[in-house]
Amino acid sequence: QKEVEQDPGPLSVPEGAIVSLNCTYSNSAFQYFMWYRQYSRKGPELLMYTYSSGNKEDGRFTAQVDKSSKYISLFIRDSQPSDSATYLCAALSGVSGYSTLTFGKGTMLLVSP
Amino acid sequence: DSGVTQTPKHLITATGQRVTLRCSPRSGDLSVYWYQQSLDQGLQFLIQYYNGEERAKGNILERFSAQQFPDLHSELNLSSLELGDSALYFCASSATGTLQQYFGPGTRLTVT
């Protein structure tokens, strides 16, 4: 079993929809949780990260972590065609400078106009 | 543009061969990370270097090795290549004391 599990999709939604992307993890040592976006033929780019449990909002994006259930979510409001990409959740373990990122396999999102 | 550069963009080689992938981190970043991305395994952490020294090791095969040079660029060496080594190889860098890793555009390796 992978330490971070993610449904690969694809997830197809119409423009303007609210998108919910989810991951589960198994390692209780994970402390930081991140969402990366990867466009086709590009490297991943960090969207946002949260520490421990709670919510974090950045524009149309909200990241949520529930450590009690080991569940990570990313919500996208008013989705746009430009949001079409693969979204990777990741969890960080270790201490500063000696930390490693464990990624989910990614969910492909398609937003149609 | 993340500021991380990788060369070459594409590499096609035969089984049993050896290749070297190169990465230049963002200006000032001391940490360099290498990842392998394949369809079945996803993005997997291979190894991290910090200012020339190995810091953390992930699922890196013994046939693979890396180093970071005094000018901070890094190379990932892959030897005795197998078909299953075909993948995208990403390099990322981060500044000291920060969590954000900036990824390069990747090198697509095809082993035939």
Q: Is the pLDDT of residue B40 over 90?
A: no
Taking chain A (113 residues) in runs of 10, the rounded mean pLDDT of each run is 86 97 92 94 93 89 94 97 96 76 94 96
pLDDT tens figures, B80-112: 999 999 999 999 999 988 888 999 999 999 999
Predicted pLDDT of residue A29:
86
Mean pLDDT rounded to a whole number for chain B: 95
Task: Give the phi and the psi of residue B85 in degrees, each rounded to 5.
Answer: -85, -10
CA B103-A13-A26 angle, 5° bins? 55
Predicted pLDDT of residue A52:
78
> Residue B87 and residue B69: Cα distance in Å, rounded?
24
Q: Which of B45, B55, B92 sits opposite A98 (nearest CB)?
A: B55
Q: Is the pLDDT of residue B73 over 80?
A: yes
Distance from CA of A91 to the nearest CA of B (A): 11
Q: Which of B42, B56, B106 sits opposite A104 (nearest CB)?
A: B42
- Is B105 within 8 Å of A49 when comparing Cβ atoms? no
Identify all chain B residues contacting A99, using CB atoms and an 8 Å cutoff: 56, 99
